[in-house]
Amino acid sequence: MKTYTDKPSIETAHISLHGNRRDNQDRYAVIESQGVFLLILADGLGGHPKGDVAAEMLIHAAELFFPSQFDIEQSTRQFFQLIINYAHRKITAFGEAQIPAIKPRTTAVLALVDNKHIHWGHIGDSRLYLFRNHQVLYQTQDHTYAQELKRRGLNPHLKEIGHRNINALVRCVGGGSSPPLIEMGAKTSLFVLDVIILCSDGFWGQIDTQKIANAFDTNVALPVILSNLGQQALEHAFPHSDNVTAVALKKWRNVTDAAPVQFNHKTQTDDLNQAIDSLEDFIKKVEQDIKHEP
């Protein structure tokens, strides 16, 4: 059996399953640079065309700006909002270029993690959980009509509310004229054996939260646990399972002898231009695919 010291200080795992849907509109990324991890998950809205493209564009934006535009001394909120703003503009421009025009949309949840801290933000109903000692320490609150009513002290199930879909999102990336503001969680210390999960509603909507927390036994590999949970989500919703996507990170030990994290404060122009070109090529490819669709 491996001991904690046999493992890396930070371990990550991920799954993304189609479920009973024709397409997988979820996207995710785990990017590491100099001991800092950027985790990002996007769930394209199925009720709007090309949600998968919107989710993909958000991931491209994160890959574009991390680490080239990340400054360790910069506000995490500003950095996350930079990603959201850029993705929103690209998604909106892509939709307006289609004939007829469309409005692709996606959720977003992002987390910056180093050996000592985690800082996160989200838009929509994709969630982040922070588990400690098999308990839920933090959980993001969904940007849905129902949750908004609760924030205002109203019961979303009252007849006076009407027949509006209470699970409809009130905040997402794409679909509007102005980029949405990201809701930030508090910067939080990361302890040994803490577990972080970013997940789409196809994952969290099918498994009891405490059951997820209890699943992270220290003697089982992180990818195995996440895979088992994903299968449980699929089986519970069968034959109407949504896409099931999750990214997990676990801290196994402290790193006391690591060199200080340093990032260039100046723009890495060549890398940034190359990333922008890659994103533009992706958009052109999607547009060509749309033209050739029957």
Q: Please name the residue that has the structure tokens 């009509």.
A: 145
Buried b (16+ CB within 10 A) or exposed e, 196-208: bbbbbbbbbbbbe
pLDDT at 46: 83
Q: With CA atoms as reference, report the closest residue to 80 among 112, 107, 48.
A: 112
pLDDT at 80: 98
CATH code matching the domain that covers 8-288, chosen among 3.30.420.40, 1.10.3720.10, 3.30.1370.10, 3.60.40.10: 3.60.40.10
Find the mean pLDDT for residues 51-64: 97
Three-state SS sequence of 115-137 = CCEEEEEEECCCEEEEEECCEEE
Confidence of residue 266 (pLDDT cuts 50, 70, 90): very low
pLDDT greater than 70 at residue 285 = no
Contact indicator for 42, 63 with CB cutoff of 8 Å:
no
Q: Interior CA angle at 206 toward 204 and 212, to 5°? A: 55
User: Which of 238 and 46 is assigned the larger pLDDT?
Assistant: 238
pTM, to two decimals = 0.86
User: Which of 4 and 237 is assigned the larger pLDDT?
Assistant: 237
pLDDT at 267: 44
SS3 of residue 27 by DSSP: strand
pLDDT greater than 90 at residue 274 = no
State the amino acid at position 126 in one-letter form.
Answer: S
The 10s digit of each residue's pLDDT in 241-254 is: 999 999 999 999 98
pLDDT at 268: 43
Confidence of residue 8 (pLDDT cuts 50, 70, 90): confident
Q: With CA atoms as reference, report the closest residue to 216 among 123, 130, 139.
A: 130
Confidence of residue 262 (pLDDT cuts 50, 70, 90): low
Distance in angstroms (rounded) separating the CA atoms of residues 10 and 195 = 10
Joined together, the tokens standing for residue 233 give: 């989500």
User: Which of 166 and 230 is assigned the larger pLDDT?
Assistant: 230
pLDDT at 42: 98
pLDDT at 286: 60
For 56-60, 226-230, 281-285, which range has the lowest pLDDT when averaged over its residues?
Answer: 281-285
pLDDT greater than 70 at residue 1 = no
pLDDT at 32: 96
pLDDT at 292: 57
Q: At what angle do helices 76-97 and 51-65 cross, to 10 degrees?
A: 140
- Mean pLDDT taken over the chain: 87
Q: How far is CA 130 from CA 135, 137, 197, in A?
A: 8, 6, 7
List CB contacts of 162: < 8 A, sequence separation 6 or more. Answer: none
The 10s digit of each residue's pLDDT in 157-210 is: 655 555 567 788 999 999 988 999 999 999 999 999 999 999 999 999 999 999
Buried b (16+ CB within 10 A) or exposed e, 150-172: eeeeeebeeeeeeeeebeebebb
